[in-house]
Amino acid sequence: MKLHVDRSGAGPDLVLLHGWGLHSGVWDEVLPDLAQRFRVHAVDLPGHGYSHAAIASSFDDAAALVAACVPAGALVCGWSLGGLFAQRIAARGAASLRALALVGTTPCFAERQDWPHAMKLATLQSFAAGLRANSVATLENFVRLNALHGARGREAIRTFARRIAARGLPSVAALEHGLAWLREVDVRDEVARIAVPAAVIHGARDALAPVAAGRWLAARLPSATMTELPDAAHLPFFTHPREFLAGLEALGG
């Protein structure tokens, strides 16, 4: 069982990992610039996009599928749920990475007693409850949260609402698995083992992964820089492409 990967460009390998409910088409606006510098591998996560048949019920199984798509020595860029996979792969040495870019992500998406920098558990539970009733409406509501309070919010909502179904909607089962990972996975104890250089790129108005989580990552990763965008929400690669590209550029080609 393999994941779908769109490849373009030439140069050092760059792997792009998208977030929950979407697909690798989220990178369309920055892909032309990236392909001028990198050999880009844009992955559709398990159960998403053209990887709809690659269902993984456990996070570890899904991470193994993703790791199999990472060439040796690649820069891995993970956004949101994709960033959670990137951290797990880097920490456990499932692939030989050169560097890591973590965009609008966190080591733990759900609030814990000792982890306030996260979504309320009730928010994730409400998405789970809505999936079986109306998965399309649930995904559209999720897109709105991605853009909430951020620059270019209306444009981002229109663009990503249109893009959701461009490769077919994920099945309810795949979406439920992904929500379970967002709710349950906590890689905070693994972060210190990520030895490669890292760039943390985060919007200060992010409603899904609070910026405090990005600051926590930048402070605890052994070798990291932090780019904090004051008026960005959860989609900095779309709303602030120049800053996003500069963050990857800082990691070198």
- Report, as residue numbers or ranges, the catalytic residues: 80, 206, 234
- Cα–Cα separations (whole angstroms), residue 88 to 152, 185, 206: 31, 10, 22
* DSSP code per residue over the chain: ----EEEEE-SSEEEEE--TT--GGGGTTTHHHHHHHSEEEEEPPTTSGGGTT---SSHHHHHHHHHTT--TTEEEEEETHHHHHHHHHHHHTSS-EEEEEEES--SB-B-BTTB-SSB-HHHHHHHHHHHHH-HHHHHHHHHHHHHTTSTTHHHHHHHHHHHTTTT-PPPHHHHHHHHHHHHH-B-GGGGGG--S-EEEEEETT-SSS-HHHHHHHHHHSSSEEEEEETT--S-HHHH-HHHHHHHHHTT--
